[in-house]
């Protein structure tokens, strides 16, 4: 919108400026030249008016006598013409003086006998006084019409128009037509209060051509009686001088080669123009202004659309088009469309548009350089707090490796110093001219490329696999580590499918949705690769809202170690349990059959207690090892929650009672059901409840809550116990992790209970977490999907 207003204002300004300029003499001259050019281009036309010229030409002067001729000759010409029955006779000669009385009379007789005669009045100036030279009294008979023959050439000496009325007289051409009984289509005279009032108006002559376009009859032929009987019939006969060298000769638009046209021929052209209604219409200044405005606006629009070479071509081409339009209007509509102001508009507006653009680009460039120099500066690098060379020398004993490090360091240092100097020199330069700007752009460009290749090198040197996808699922980057994977494709398909083809796992599309919608990372350890031999810890993270990155860390070794460890642990546990069972069995028997005495019984009691503890440890461990190894199948069923909770409360009740702890279950479960492995969940919840009792002081309360909502079933076990500091809340779920506080040490345990709970939750697709405050209590939350 702002652009549009600016374009309209700018084009208006240019249009007005050019119009004002076009009123300047030089420009007016150009305009006239263009007018003449267009008229010539429009070409000659075949005259249609019944006009014929009786020409007093060189030959007549040579044959009859030099000018002036005696009036009786003129009288004879009038008589001869009249005898041919013309419509009117118009004499373009000044007859204001008196000559030989007899000759004058013969002319006045001839005129009085003629049906319609038009004589000429000429405006002359003597001593700065204007006066009309009219035919003498004798000739001014009632039937005679008078027309002014005053020429009105433009300041360049070219006659382009006549004025319809001057002083008391209509133009000679108008009177000649009226004398022939023809009325021009336009009114140049109106009646006001019974008097005729002349309307002086310019009439632009549509010249039919150059000299001799109209039929000429030499005057000597008329005098000699050599003309035909029908030569003058129904014609408007103009009698005048055409001989070269007479004063009444003028330049016309057709006078291309400096040849002038006699006044009488100009009258013939004016008569033709009025007769055929072909006066050239000139567009008004307002129309020109409006079209100029529109044209400049069009140039601006074109410049916006087709910047550069196409615009120049269009602008240059519009020049000939304008000339062609002007020619068309002149030829077929007799309208003068002044094209020079439009050409001027092209000449001024095109460079002006370029300059404006240049200024704007320059300003933008300044701003951009300023912004860039803020972002990519030489001085933003963190300065070193130590002498790097010294450090390397003291940290590494002399060796080829140390020398290589030093060489690389020196190289890097000299490069950064060079860059810094370059930046400093650039910024210090006093003149920020166009050359400087280009240098600055080059510098920033280099810096950006350097920065990009640095980043690329970082990504390329990472051992982990990195695959980046845009939100459309198009893979936009894969680092070189990806190439080593089975299933690698240079032009990968839909990213989630591609991930599935790299890894032995489905469901990446759902991960994409989660990552993009919640802007959270999804991670999974030990995902098998396509080849089945390698295992990866993968994470899928959002890159803001513009993409997703999959990173895969090869964890095959760790995975193998885990498998081996688990195998070994369960193997060892099995092997341990067998002798343990015998130890317990035989100890029990020794006690039962009273086979040992006093102190021995006490020792046996300790053996039995310790072997029970060991058995407990092995059992807990096996539980986890089993479930982790995947050998323990999770059998999910729908079961009611209330009886399970009742069981738990029954088991935990006595332990709680010992410490005076109140156990509170949910008030009303209304036949609420869970879908999962009943035994595993029972055991997990029991672990949470017994922990709550274990790690709470006496006479407190442990509450168990069940919430069903949001597609999840949530169990909360809240106590008023010792609490867990925030930094340890994630560690307590690790295997064998026990807190080191006094309260924990007083309780027996192996640090396996919570890792079992975590594993059970994970196997159900849920999770366990804790909210705790030291000294106030904790809330453990276990949830599983419904
Ligand atoms: P343990 O056999 O030691 O109970 P767990 O895995 O069940 O092993 O728990 C790990 C550690 O977490 C415990 O040693 C204890 O310090 C802490 N803990 C567990 N439950 C609670 C609780 N409700 N309140 C305070 N500390 C707890």
Name the one residue in this structure whose structure tokens are 């509509």.
333
Nearest to 227 by CA among 85, 69, 62: 85
Name the one residue in this structure whose structure tokens are 């939750």.
761
Q: Is the CB of 754 under 6 A from ligand 1?
A: yes
Looking only at the bridges linking them, the beta strands covering 189-192 and 195-198 are antiparallel
pLDDT-flagged residues of the chain (< 50) = none
* Exposed/middle/buried for residue 408 (C-beta within 10 Å: 0-12, 13-18, 19+): exposed
689 touches 654 (CB < 8 A)? no
Q: Is the CB of 54 under 6 A from ligand 1?
A: no
Own/partner contacts of 478-487, CB < 8 Å, gap of 24 or more, are: 485/529, 485/530, 486/529, 486/530, 486/531, 487/530
Q: Given ligand 1 and candidates 613, 718, 729, 732, which is best to mutate, with the most ligand atoms within 8 Å of its CB?
A: 732
Residue 677 CB neighbours (<10 A): 22
CA of 53 to the centre of ligand 1 (A): 131
Check residue 378 and give its pLDDT. Answer: 53
CA of 743 to the centre of ligand 1 (A): 10
Check residue 381 and give its pLDDT. Answer: 63
CA-based angle 175:178:181, to the nearest 5? Answer: 155
Q: Given ligand 1 and candidates 688, 717, 738, which is best to mutate, with the most ligand atoms within 8 Å of its CB?
A: 738
Kindly provide the residue ranges of all beta strands, DSSP E only, lying in 248-323, ordered along the sequence. Answer: 249-250, 261-262, 281-282
If you take atom 13 of ligand 1, which residue's CA is the nearest one? Answer: 738
Give the whole-angstrom CA distance, residue 720 versus residue 696: 6
pLDDT tens-digit map of 533-571: 999 999 999 998 899 999 999 999 999 987 887 777 777
How many CA atoms lie less than 13 Å away from 471 in the CB half-sphere? 11
Q: Given ligand 1 and candidates 691, 727, 746, 758, which is best to mutate, with the most ligand atoms within 8 Å of its CB?
A: 691
What tokens were used for 319?
């020049």
Check residue 554 and give its pLDDT. Answer: 94
693 touches 721 (CB < 8 A)? no
If you take atom 8 of ligand 1, which residue's CA is the nearest one? Answer: 751
Q: Is the CB of 700 under 6 A from ligand 1?
A: no
pLDDT tens-digit map of 374-425: 777 655 566 778 888 999 999 999 999 999 999 999 999 998 888 888 888 8
CA of 548 to the centre of ligand 1 (A): 38
Return the SS3 of 639. Answer: strand
Q: Is the CB of 738 under 6 A from ligand 1?
A: yes
CA of 763 to the centre of ligand 1 (A): 21
CA of 723 to the centre of ligand 1 (A): 10
How many CA atoms lie less than 13 Å away from 380 in the CB half-sphere? 7
Give the whole-angstrom CA distance, residue 325 versus residue 323: 5
**CA end-to-end span of the chain:** 57
What tokens were used for 756?
């079992």
72 touches 106 (CB < 8 A)? yes
Check residue 158 and give its pLDDT. Answer: 92
CA of 749 to the centre of ligand 1 (A): 8
49 touches 236 (CB < 8 A)? yes
Check residue 5 and give its pLDDT. Answer: 87
Q: Is the CB of 621 under 6 A from ligand 1?
A: no
If you take atom 20 of ligand 1, which residue's CA is the nearest one? Answer: 691
Kindly list the distances between the CA atom of residue 120 and the CA atoms of 176, 243, 274, in Å, as whole numbers in the listed order: 10, 19, 18
Q: Given ligand 1 and candidates 744, 769, 772, 777, which is best to mutate, with the most ligand atoms within 8 Å of its CB?
A: 744
CA of 751 to the centre of ligand 1 (A): 7
Give the whole-angstrom CA distance, residue 231 versus residue 219: 13
CA of 244 to the centre of ligand 1 (A): 131
Looking only at the bridges linking them, the beta strands covering 701-709 and 169-171 are unpaired
Q: Is the CB of 722 under 6 A from ligand 1?
A: yes
92 touches 264 (CB < 8 A)? yes
Residues β-bridged to residue 662: 701
Q: Given ligand 1 and candidates 690, 695, 775, 776, which is best to mutate, with the most ligand atoms within 8 Å of its CB?
A: 695
3-state secondary structure 669-714: CCCCEEEECHHHHHHHHHHHHHHHHHCCCCCCEEEEEEEEECCEEE
Own/partner contacts of 288-295, CB < 8 Å, gap of 24 or more, are: 288/19, 288/22, 288/338, 288/341, 289/15, 289/16, 289/19, 291/342, 292/14, 292/15, 292/18, 292/19, 292/341, 292/342, 292/345, 293/11, 293/12, 293/15, 294/11, 295/15, 295/342, 295/345
Kindly list the distances between the CA atom of residue 230 and the CA atoms of 39, 78, 83, 219, 235, in Å, as whole numbers in the listed order: 34, 15, 10, 16, 10
CA of 622 to the centre of ligand 1 (A): 19
Check residue 102 and give its pLDDT. Answer: 92
């Amino acid at each position: 919108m702002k652009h549009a207003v600016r374009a309209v204002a700018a084009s208006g300004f240019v249009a007005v400026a050019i119009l004002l300029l076009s009123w300047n003499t030089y420009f007016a001259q150009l305009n006239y030249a263009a007018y003449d050019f267009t008229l010539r281009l429009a070409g000659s036309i075949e005259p249609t008016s019944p006009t014929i010229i009786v020409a007093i030409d060189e030959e007549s002067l040579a044959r009859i006598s030099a000018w002036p001729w005696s009036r009786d000759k003129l009288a004879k010409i009038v008589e001869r013409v009249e005898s041919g029955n013309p419509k009117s006779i118009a004499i373009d000669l000044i007859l204001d003086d008196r000559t030989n009385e007899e000759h004058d009379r013969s002319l006045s007789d001839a005129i009085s006998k003629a049906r319609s005669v038009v004589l000429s009045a000429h405006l002359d100036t003597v001593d700065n006084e204007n006066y009309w030279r009219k035919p003498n009294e004798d000739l001014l008979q009632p039937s005679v019409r008078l027309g002014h023959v005053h020429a009105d050439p433009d300041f360049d000496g070219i006659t382009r128009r006549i004025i319809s009325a001057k002083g008391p007289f209509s133009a000679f051409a108008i009177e000649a037509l009226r004398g022939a009984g023809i009325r021009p289509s336009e009114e140049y005279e109106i009646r006001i209060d019974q008097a005729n009032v002349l309307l002086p108006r310019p009439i632009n002559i549509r010249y039919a051509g150059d000299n001799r376009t109209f039929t000429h009859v030499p005057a000597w032929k008329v005098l000699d009686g050599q003309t035909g009987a029908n030569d003058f019939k129904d014609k408007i006969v103009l009698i005048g001088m055409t001989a070269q060298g007479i004063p009444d000769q003028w330049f016309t638009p057709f006078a291309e080669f400096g040849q002038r046209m006699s006044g009488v021929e100009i009258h013939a052209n004016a008569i033709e123009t009025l007769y055929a209604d072909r006066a050239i219409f000139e567009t008004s200044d307002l129309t020109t202004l409006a079209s100029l405005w529109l044209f400049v606006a069009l140039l601006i629009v074109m410049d916006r659309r087709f910047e550069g070479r196409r615009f120049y071509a269009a602008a240059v081409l519009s020049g000939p088009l304008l000339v062609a339009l002007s020619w068309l209007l002149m030829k077929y509509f007799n309208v003068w469309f002044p094209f020079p102001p439009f050409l001027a508009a092209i000449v001024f507006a095109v460079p002006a548009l370029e300059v404006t653009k240049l200024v704007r680009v320059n300003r933008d460039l300044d701003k951009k350089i300023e912004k860039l120099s803020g972002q990519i500066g030489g001085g933003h690098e963190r300065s070193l707090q130590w002498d790097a060379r010294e450090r390397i020398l003291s940290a590494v004993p002399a060796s080829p490796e140390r020398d290589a490090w030093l060489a690389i360091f020196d190289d890097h240092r000299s490069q950064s110093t060079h860059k810094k100097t370059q930046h400093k020199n650039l910024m210090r330069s006093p003149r920020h001219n166009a050359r400087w700007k280009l240098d600055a752009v080059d510098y920033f460009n280099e810096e950006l490329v350097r920065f990009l290749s640095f980043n690329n090198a970082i990504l390329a040197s990472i051992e982990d696999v990195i695959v980046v996808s845009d939100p459309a699922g198009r893979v936009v980057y894969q680092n070189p580590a990806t190439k080593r994977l089975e299933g690698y494709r240079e032009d990968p398909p839909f990213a989630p499918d591609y991930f599935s083809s790299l890894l032995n796992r489905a469901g990446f599309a759902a991960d994409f949705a989660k990552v993009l919608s919640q802007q959270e990372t999804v991670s999974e350890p030990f995902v098998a690769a396509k080849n089945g031999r390698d295992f990866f810890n993968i994470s899928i993270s959002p890159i803001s809202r513009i993409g997703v990155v999959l990173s895969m860390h090869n964890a095959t070794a760790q995975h193998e170690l885990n498998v081996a460890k688990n195998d070994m642990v369960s193997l060892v546990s099995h092997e341990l349990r067998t002798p343990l069972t015998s130890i317990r069995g035989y100890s029990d028997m020794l006690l039962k059959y009273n086979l040992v005495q006093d102190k021995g019984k006490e020792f046996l009691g300790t053996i039995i207690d310790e072997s029970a503890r060991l058995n407990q440890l092995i059992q807990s461990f096996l539980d986890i090892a089993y479930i982790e190894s995947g050998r323990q199948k999770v059998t999910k069923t729908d079961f009611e929650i209330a009886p399970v909770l009742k069981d738990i409360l029954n088991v935990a009740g006595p332990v709680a009672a010992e410490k005076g702890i109140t156990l509170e279950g949910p008030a009303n479960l209304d036949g609420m059901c869970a879908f999962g492995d009943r035994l595993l969940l029972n055991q997990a919840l029991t672990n949470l409840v017994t922990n709550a009792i274990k790690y709470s002081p006496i006479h407190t309360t442990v509450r168990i809550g069940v919430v069903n909502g949001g597609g999840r079933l949530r169990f909360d076990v809240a106590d008023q116990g010792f609490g867990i500091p925030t930094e340890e809340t994630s560690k307590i779920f690790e295997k064998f992790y026990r807190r080191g506080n006094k309260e924990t040490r007083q309780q027996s345990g192996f640090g396996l209970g919570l890792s079992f709970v975590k594993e059970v939750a994970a196997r159900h697709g849920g999770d366990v977490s804790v909210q705790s405050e030291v000294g106030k209590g904790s809330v453990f939350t276990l949830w599983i999907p419904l």
